Structure 1
Amino acid sequence: MHLPPIASVVWYAIGRFYESQDGKSRDLGYFAHLGGIEPLFAGPPGEATAFFTFRAEPFTSQTLQNGDLSVSLEARGGFTLYLNREPRGDFSKPDTFSQGEPIATFERFSLVVGTTVGPIVNNLFSAALRSSVDFTFEGRTWNLADLLPGGITQLGMASSTEIPPPPGYTKVIPFVGSAMALGREPRQAGR
């Protein structure tokens, strides 16, 4: 198996930011690419068929203004990746993205800075891999420590146009993110 070189794109995440009535936010979604693991979907690509999902712990943001730029600062925080052997993700039911088997946890080790320019919000953050476990998928044993030993740096883009929120939430914003691997040389993956 050919391993991705350090600093190559290792995932594409598709998700949404949810703001709850208490003012805290969380993000969740699924992966359209995850370090060479295949297949990623149990049917036509989308949240309902995604084998691999993620969900962040709740966080709060501060907003700063710089002329017509709105800058959002989010504190450090964690998120978990899940393997869903029977996919059923549904953006109208956020808990469906955290019902699978936890396979890895990450912690952002710096502030997340998001900048709104017109209808687009950009953000950038790095996260360290805090834990991961072996899992068997499609007859192979995987561990995200093999693919992402030092963690990731993700560049994200979100829309500033809100989507109608499900019950219990006040705001939902769609986003996509591309992450590159950080750190040392990966170990042999897909044993």
Structure 2
Amino acid sequence: MDLPPTAGVVWYAVGRFYEARDGRQLDLGYFAHLGGMAPLFHGPPGEATAHFTFRSEPFTVQTLQNGDLELSLDATGRFTLYLNREPCGDFSNPDTFSRGEPIATFERFSTVVGTAVGPLASNLFSAALRSSADFTFGGRTWNLASLVPQGITQFGTASTTALPPPHGYKAMKAFVGSAMALGARRP
């Protein structure tokens, strides 16, 4: 497999943030691009046809104000990527995003800082690759350790407009994220 250049874009994620009734949050979604793998969808692109999904562990969020900017501080935590040989993602049922084969787990290095103003919010975080497994897809064997051995840095954009949440949640918002491979650490 060809490796992306240092800081090369390795994925585009499409997802939702969910806030549970107890205030904890999670994010989940699917990939519109993942390191040159194809085809990523079994049919027209969307969550229901995506072969690769992700889901975070629940995390807590603190908010603070700075003038008209609202800042969120998301706790560190883990998220897992899944291969869904039979895609079944459905944003009204968050559990559908973690039904596939786990292929990699990442852990955010530090607190995620997000900023919201008006209809949009942004965030930036880095995450280390903690585990990965070989998998076969599209007639090739892949392992995300070859693609992002050190992990990723992702920039995200989210809507501040709430969507109707599924049962058990009090809020849901859409987001997209673009991730780049982290470079090797210097000695």
SS, match of residue 65 in structure 2: strand
Match of 2:31 in 1: 31
SS at match of 1:156: strand
Summarize the alignment of residues 59-138 of structure 1 with structure 2, pairs less than 5 Å apart.
59-138=59-138
User: Which secondary structure state, in structure 2, belongs to the residue aligned with residue 145 of structure 1?
Assistant: helix
| Percentage of pairs with the same residue | 75
2:128 & 2:2 partners in 1: Cα distance?
Answer: 23
**After superposition, what is the alpha-carbon deviation per residue over 1:77-123, rounded to whole angstroms, capped at 9, x for unaligned?**
00000000000100011100000000000000011000001110000
- Separation in 2 of the partners of 1:2 and 1:167? 43
* 1:189 alignment counterpart: none
**How many angstroms apart in 2 are the aligned matches of 1:2 and 1:139?**
16
1:165 paired with 2:173, answer: no
Q: Are 1:154 and 2:154 matched, yes or no? A: yes
Give the match's secondary structure for 2:174.
strand
**Paired AA for residue 135 in structure 2:** F
- Structure 2 counterpart of 1:141: 141
Residue by residue over 1:39-81, the C-alpha shift from the partner in whole angstroms, topping out at 9 and shown as x without a partner, is 1001100000000000000001000100000000011100000
Matched residue count: 185
Q: Please name the residue that 1:188 is paired with.
A: none
TM-score normalised over the length of structure 2: 0.97
Confirm or deny that 1:10 pairs with 2:7. Answer: no
Residue 153 of structure 1, CA deviation = 0.3
Counterpart contact for 2:37–2:138, Cα < 8 Å: no
Unaligned regions of 5+ residues in structure 1, if any? 186-191
Q: CA deviation at 1:184?
A: 2.7
Deviation, 1:2, is 3.6
Distance 1:110 1:183 in 2: 17
Secondary structure in structure 1 of the residue aligned to 2:48: helix
Specify every segment of 5 or more residues in structure 2 that has no aligned partner in the other structure, as ranges.
none
- Looking at structure 2, the residues matched to 23 and 169 of structure 1 have their Cα atoms a distance apart, in angstroms, of 9
SS at match of 2:90: coil
The separation in 2 between residues aligned to 1:114 and 1:89, in whole angstroms, is 26
